[in-house]
Amino acid sequence: MNYWGILGIESTVDLKVIKKAYASKLRLYHPEDDPKGFQNLREAYENALKEAKYIKEVNSSNTTINEEPSLHNEYDEILPNTKFDNSTNSVEKENLGIKDEDLVNLFMSRVCEIYNNFFTRIDINNWKGLLQDQNFWILNIKESLCFNMLEFLMDNYYLPHNVWCALDEYFYWTENEEYLYEEFDERFINYIISQVRETQSLRYEFFKKDYECDYDEFIRHRNNAYYALMNNNLEECGKAVMSAMEIFPDDPDLIRMLGIYYLRIEDSKNAELAFTHLIEINPKEIDGHLNRGYILIRQERINEAYYDFQNALNVNSDNISALKGLAECYFHFNNLIEAKLLYSQISENCVFDLESRLRIVEINAKLIDKYKNELTNNPKNIDILYELAKTYFEMESFEECHKTIKNLIKNQEVNSDIYLLLGRTLAGMKRNKESLKYFSKALIVASKEGTNSYEILFHRGLVNLQLENYEEAIQDFSGTLKINRYNAEALYNLSEIYLQTGRYSEALEFSNKAISTDSSKWIYYSVRGIANFRLKNYAQSKNDHAIVVKHEYSFSEAWYRKGYCHLQLLQYEEAIDCFKEAIDWKVEAYKDAHLRLSLAYFKLEDFKSALTEAKCHCEDNANDICGFILMGDIYRVLGISSKAEEAYIKAYELKPNSHKLLKILGYFYLNKNELKKAFQYLKKLIDIYKDDENAYIVFLWLCVELNESVAGTAAFADYEKLLKDNKISNVNPYALFYYSVIIYKKGFKKSMYKLAAQKLEKVIELGLKNGDLLSYLSMIYYELEDKENSIKYAKEAIAIDPSNVEYKIRYEGILQYCDKRNFLIFKNRPPAMTTWPIIGQLELQTFIADLPILNISIGENYE
Amino acid sequence: MNKMTNPDNLTQAQLWILSLGAVLAEQNNSRHDILYGYGRTKEAMDSMRHVLKRDWGIASKSKLLSTLNWLLTDGHGVDFLKERYYISTLSEEAKNAYIESLNKGSSEYVQSQLVKVYDKSLPQAGVSAWDYGRYVFLCRCAAATDLISEKEAWELMLKAAKLAQKAYSSWREYALAYIAGRQTWLTNISSDSAEDQLERIKTLIIDPNSPWKVLDWYVKI
């Protein structure tokens, strides 16, 4: 038999397949008891490895390419409908003559008949025969049957699992659980339901007809032992298991429990005996071998243990505990390579098993010592040098690995594998630029060898990514994906590159692909979460970050981003929880976690907490105006105006030319009716920022109120320029209104009055018509000696607001002058403004001067 | 890892006791050979106070003592044992059927998988090492932040040390139980998480300067 035959596989270059085959054959040859068999196997393995290395072809990884994970479920078996159908039951009619009660009695007598004989009872066929008997398929006796059956079972409840299931299928107990709980004792129904649902019940198939004993009593003790063992009630368990053993000593379930019981009381001698007995009774079952194997390992009887694990694996070749036991035997035999191989297989199949990972580390440490020893006698042995270098690399001892490879290179022509290892080692030593040189050499040599460049490209991609050579890294990872498009790590790294280069849509695309290839890596969700975050897909980003923090609880930035998403989604309570975690875990990349937390509290109207957090933000970020603005807003809501003012002023001092702050302060003082202060900030605002229409309107109003005609005229000129520059044809009617009043007040010339009147008429054309405006217009026409319009507009003003006393006084005054003298020729009448001065303030366009409650928006990029 | 120099002339027993908390000490760049391994600077003390509050809700001596008591009498080790008693009662076939019947994403599923894989390797104490290690860590933090005196810290730690020494038979066994406990607490069976757990003990297991390499498990305490 050639070595492929010994390994039991076809010729292959896939090292994984060879290793797997070797690992699976290891259990067949005991290294000490069958040294020849073991030696042959090992030689076969080594030869296979050598041959594979020589003929390694590019397509070694293609085997996985077409293996898409199956998404299809197994076909669900459609169970026949066993419910009674009254209309189609022909037998029912034949039974009409028999009383229902008799039928129920007949059924129950057959139940008793089956139950009373233990071996009839545990045979499912007897029950099936009864339950399928169409004589009892009558709907109106079903309930009665069910009740009678349950009453019977209250005293007779030792049945195998399959019988319980058959009864449940017939009586629908599990479907009508609630109803049963209403009618029967809770503990009894619990028992019934557990018997049906428990997949791991004790078996009835090992009892012997020719062995006379009280099986019911046996089952009672066995059940007691079972539940006592589950609850680790060892005293109770011991009593029950011994009583059961006295009745029937050959039940595998009981013997297994006996062995476990002895293990728990740390009586390994009796435990071993029990498991030996179990093996004798039922050698086809894995439990005896497995448990005894581990007892033997603890007693350092490795040779014997080996055979137990071998037998266990003959029963179930995939059993992880048995494989671990076998690996442990090899470890104790000091067959380190074999032990490592087996542990690696276990690690691959059971990724969460830490013991195998730990053993690999320990084995590597031992292997290093072993190789170093071997090299003292044979320092130039290239095979040992290479193995030593690889082991150092696995242990992340990069310096030592580097030295070893250098030594190796002196003694051997270098192949692509060695260049690759050297490149990776240098990368491990953070000598990334040097490592690139060796990856390139590896690629050239691999091309000459005709070997696969997949790994080389992948690892060079990683280094290029580290060095921020993004385009090169993209080429490398794309190259690996051409060879194997299901490489999740390459997909992930591509998404990382796109993220770092601000190409978020591509980052999203590749992270999606990485996740659909391997959904177990939290880091893939992190990259996707960030891509979604940048793309403002907050709902998706939130979900991704939820996965990230579940895996990496202390990942403060992930908590922050999750919180930010919740904030955007108006989920303030969740946002608060996340920001708190981010702060607790010392988030560093984002400086405004306290501010965001404060905002979330603000939204929930918890202003006290909001204030505390805003203060924290200000302490940590003394030069950031946002915290002070938020503090000002909070104080305003709390009605502490002086503190609000202090906070806004503090922010203003930090950034005296901030548009936002000038406006906040302007409006803040406006709302406090401190018009001079408001004027001061708004003047500065419109002097710096020429494009804020609302600010112009409010400022013009202030100019009216404060009689600042020069500033008002200049502001209106700037405002008109803004309109012209932006090709806006419609002037705001309020702006024009206020400006008209400024002209009028500046007045005392007919030409000015005419101009003011024209502009006010224009305001009316634009749709603004209020009492103030009309009253002003009436006064202007009064100055222009236009009796008709003067009276008309004075009247209209009163019509709009009949309660306004000023309008009335003006109207009556104008009329008075008309009555006493001829209005048109009156030359020395007093000016309207001094005769009927305007006492109240002009109406300000209502919405534009409102200061928002909150001046920091949740998603704002701050100044 | 730096060689232990034992500047405070601690006894072997005291060094051994501190080594029970070596995983967290290593993680926090703490020395293994002095009680105040994390330092006594204001910054270090603030940091420890923060950790005590954040991770354990401990800000007072009474809360500390109740937490320590919980770690010794219950801890996460008891949850593991409850599950272990159940799982180990079942046959291999029944174990598989039981685990298969659980919802794959549920914590019960994860716990059962972990209990099954470690049942044969871990001693009776299960993963209590995870509780003992944290116990020692808490005592060291509490002493360093003046929640308890140095004397009290040693007395308290001695209690855990006696239990730990009886429960396990080697540093390796203790280490495996510790990370298995952490893994169970995290209810995470991903490969990434397993790698992360291993990283926490790797150096302690192989570095010749590691206290676990220097100190014999059966040091008289």
Please check whether residue B47 touches A, CB under 8 A: no
- Residue B123 pLDDT level (bands cut at 50, 70, 90): very high
Q: What is the mean pLDDT of residues B141-166?
A: 97
Q: Which carries the bigger pLDDT value, residue A472 or residue A413? A: A472
- Calculate what percentage of chain A has a pLDDT beyond 90: 70
Q: What are the tens digits of pLDDT across the range A710-763?
A: 999 999 999 999 999 999 888 999 999 999 999 998 877 888 899 999 999 999
- Predicted pLDDT at A65: 34
- Predicted pLDDT at A828: 63
- Residue A5 pLDDT level (bands cut at 50, 70, 90): confident
- Residue A80 pLDDT level (bands cut at 50, 70, 90): very low
Q: Which carries the bigger pLDDT value, residue A616 or residue A40? A: A616
Which tokens go with A163?
A: 């019988």
Burial readout A412-441 (b: 16 or more C-beta within 10 A, e: otherwise):
eeebbbbbbbbbbbbbbeebbeebbebbeb
Q: What is the 3-state secondary structure (H, E, C) of A207-232?
A: CCCCCCCCHHHHHHHHHHHHHHHHCC
Q: Alpha-carbon distance A523 to A501, whole Å?
A: 18
Q: What is the mean pLDDT of residues B29-47?
A: 90
- Predicted pLDDT at A860: 61
Q: Which carries the bigger pLDDT value, residue A153 or residue A72? A: A153
Q: Which carries the bigger pLDDT value, residue A101 or residue B212? A: B212
CB-based contact A492:A509 (threshold 8 Å) = no
CB-based contact A262:A290 (threshold 8 Å) = no
Selected for mutation to probe chain A from B91, B196, B198 (highest A CB count within 10 Å) is B91
- Predicted pLDDT at A9: 86
Q: At what angle do helices A504-517 and A522-534 cross, to 10 degrees?
A: 150
Taking the C-alpha atoms of A92, A97, A99 and A103 in order, what is their torsion angle to the nearest 10 degrees? -50
Residue A230 — left, alpha, or beta (φ > 0 → left; ψ -120 to 50 → alpha)?
A: alpha
Are the beta carbons of B54 and A584 separated by less than 8 Å?
Answer: yes
The answer to whether residue A862 scores a pLDDT higher than 80 is no
- Predicted pLDDT at A78: 27
Q: What is the mean pLDDT of residues A98-116?
A: 87
Are the beta carbons of B92 and A287 separated by less than 8 Å?
Answer: yes
Q: Give Cα A285 to chain centroid, integer Å.
A: 42
CB-based contact A360:A336 (threshold 8 Å) = no
Query: Which residue in the set A325, A354, A522 is minimally distant from B197, CB to CB?
Result: A354
Query: Which residue in the set A266, A291, A551 is minimally distant from B124, CB to CB?
Result: A266
- Predicted pLDDT at A91: 40
The answer to whether residue B23 scores a pLDDT higher than 80 is yes
Q: What are the tens digits of pLDDT across the range A520-557?
A: 899 999 999 999 999 999 999 999 999 999 989 999 99
Smallest Cα distance from A230 to chain B, Å: 4
Which tokens go with A378?
A: 């044979």
DSSP line for B115-150:
HHHHTTTS-TTTTHHHHHHHHHHHHHHHHHTTSS-H
Report how far apart, in Å, the C-alpha atoms of A393 and of each of A169, A420, A422 are.
60, 12, 10
Are the beta carbons of B180 and A253 separated by less than 8 Å?
Answer: no
Q: Give Cα B109 to chain centroid, integer Å.
A: 23
- Predicted pLDDT at A76: 29
Are the beta carbons of B92 and A257 separated by less than 8 Å?
Answer: no
What mean pLDDT value characterizes chain A?
Answer: 89
Which tokens go with A257?
A: 């429990």
The answer to whether residue B85 scores a pLDDT higher than 90 is yes
CB-based contact A555:A548 (threshold 8 Å) = yes
CB-based contact A662:A684 (threshold 8 Å) = yes
- Predicted pLDDT at A74: 30
Q: What is the pTM of this model?
A: 0.80
The answer to whether residue A69 scores a pLDDT higher than 60 is no
Q: What are the tens digits of pLDDT across the range A261-318?
A: 999 999 999 999 999 999 999 998 999 999 999 999 999 999 999 999 999 999 999 9
Q: What are the tens digits of pLDDT across the range B41-84?
A: 999 999 999 999 999 999 999 999 999 999 999 999 999 999 99
Which tokens go with A143?
A: 């309930």
- Predicted pLDDT at A136: 83
CB-based contact A447:A413 (threshold 8 Å) = no
CA closest to B94 among chain A residues? A200
CB-based contact A801:A840 (threshold 8 Å) = no
Residue with tokens 């390992």: A297
* Residue at A120: amino acid letter: T
Smallest Cα distance from A379 to chain B, Å: 25
- Predicted pLDDT at A64: 38
Q: Alpha-carbon distance A361 to A381, whole Å?
A: 24
Q: What are the tens digits of pLDDT across the range A631-684?
A: 999 999 999 999 999 999 999 999 999 999 999 999 999 999 999 999 999 999
CB-based contact A10:A3 (threshold 8 Å) = no
Q: What is the mean pLDDT of residues A71-97?
A: 35
Q: Worst-scoring range by mean pLDDT, A416-425, A673-682, A820-829, B205-214?
A: A820-829
> Which residues in chain A have Cβ-Cβ distances shorter than 8 Å to B54?
584-585
- Predicted pLDDT at B156: 98
Interface of A to B at Cβ within 8 Å reads 199-201, 226, 229-232, 253, 256-257, 260, 264, 266, 285-287, 290-291, 294, 316, 319-321, 324-325, 350-355, 357-358, 361-362, 365, 395, 520-523, 551, 584-585
Q: Which carries the bigger pLDDT value, residue B104 or residue B176? A: B176
Q: Alpha-carbon distance A629 to A489, whole Å?
A: 45
- Residue A373 pLDDT level (bands cut at 50, 70, 90): very high
CB-based contact B114:B163 (threshold 8 Å) = no
Are the beta carbons of A354 and B202 separated by less than 8 Å?
Answer: no
Q: Give Cα B47 to chain centroid, integer Å.
A: 20
Q: What are the tens digits of pLDDT across the range A195-221?
A: 998 877 889 989 999 998 999 999 999
The answer to whether residue A620 scores a pLDDT higher than 70 is yes
Are the beta carbons of A260 and B88 separated by less than 8 Å?
Answer: yes
Residue A826: name the closest of A746, A835, A758 by CA. Answer: A835
- Predicted pLDDT at A613: 97
CB-based contact B129:B164 (threshold 8 Å) = yes
How many other CB atoms are there within 10 angstroms of residue A728's CB atom?
12
Q: Alpha-carbon distance B108 to B89, whole Å?
A: 17
* Residue at A464: amino acid letter: N
CB-based contact A356:A346 (threshold 8 Å) = yes
Q: Alpha-carbon distance A735 to A313, whole Å?
A: 92
Most distant pair of Cα atoms in chain B: their distance? 57
What mean pLDDT value characterizes chain B?
Answer: 94
* Residue at A193: amino acid letter: I
CA closest to B120 among chain A residues? A294
CB-based contact B157:B136 (threshold 8 Å) = yes
- Residue A820 pLDDT level (bands cut at 50, 70, 90): low
